[in-house]
Structure 1
Amino acid sequence: MSNEADAIVSAIIAKWCAGFATLDAAGLSSLYAKNAFFFGSNPRLYRGRDGVADYFNGLPRWRRPCAVFSEVRVAQSGPDLINVAASISFDLGGERPDLVVKMSWVIIREDGDWKIVNHHASSQAALI
């Protein structure tokens, strides 16, 4: 795990959390690659920046949403590829129970900037 990869991921996480706090679909989708795959909290696969924006625009308008990343693991898998695994705790302002998910991202260098090309959230509860 390189310090550079850690810094890249930390910056993306900070932007992602800030965007989630205001449910800024345009800001959040700008963090994703043109051909991104996105599995969020429902079974549908969203594709590309427009799909990511559709996902975030479709969420309930919680009053005080907050996302906190923990157990972040970063591995630079090539000069233009970073693998990330983490847990995310979502506090939705008491409007529903808090939600904790496992999340993985694949981040690539696209047009000179780092973008999420694959986002997958899943339940922390054992499935088998």
Structure 2
Amino acid sequence: MGSSERSGTDDIVSGIMGKWAAAFNKLDASALASLYSRNAFFFGSNPTFYRGNDGVQAYFDALPRWSSPTVQFTDVRTAHAAPDVINVAGTATFIVDANAEPLQVKITWVIIREAGEWKIVSHHVSSKTPLIEQ
């Protein structure tokens, strides 16, 4: 992959992450759901599996109404897996209350071009705490 293609991929991903963070900061479930594909698979911070925009919206609607939620994405890696597919991995750090410890998770997304727009088609978060010690 050439550097201009990588730069374009990073721009697409950072744009979606910016929109995602802005919507999360307002706990705007509708705006968050709009970033996802109609065929999205979604595993968030609970064990329930959600599908599509309606499922994503239901997940975010059910979150507690924190007073000042924020998210920061770090260690982001991107790869253009096919012309209309981008693979994303990184860390998401959520701060939901000034007195609470930040919640840090590993996050992976698959982003596709759907009807001319880039949408998240697969969303998965998991604990940064190792499940198996090596």
Length-normalised TM-score, structure 1:
0.98
Q: Would the aligned equivalents of 1:62 and 1:95 in 2 still touch at CA under 8 Å?
A: no
Q: Which of 89, 93, 97 pairs up with 1:93?
A: 97
Q: Which of 70, 79, 83 pairs up with 1:79?
A: 83
Task: Describe the SS at the equivalent of 1:97.
Answer: coil
Q: Distance in 2 between matches of 1:44 and 1:127?
A: 19
* Alignment partner, residue 128 of structure 2: 124
Q: CA deviation at 1:98?
A: 1.3
4+ residue stretches of structure 1 with deviation over 2 A?
93-97
1:18 aligns with 2:8: no
RMSD of Structure 2 on Structure 1 (CA): 0.9
Unaligned residue ranges in structure 2 (runs of 5+): none
Q: CA deviation at 1:95?
A: 5.2
Unaligned residue ranges in structure 1 (runs of 5+): none
Q: Distance in 1 between matches of 2:101 and 2:77?
A: 26
The number of residue pairs the alignment matches comes to 128
How big is each residue's C-alpha offset from its partner over 1:79-121, in whole Å with a ceiling of 9 and x where there is no partner?
Answer: 0000000100101122532100000000000000000000000
Q: Which of 109, 112, 125 pairs up with 1:108?
A: 112
Q: Which of 45, 50, 60 pairs up with 1:46?
A: 50
Larger radius of gyration: 2
Amino acid at match of 2:115: D
Q: Distance in 2 between matches of 1:60 and 1:99?
A: 14
Length-normalised TM-score, structure 2:
0.93
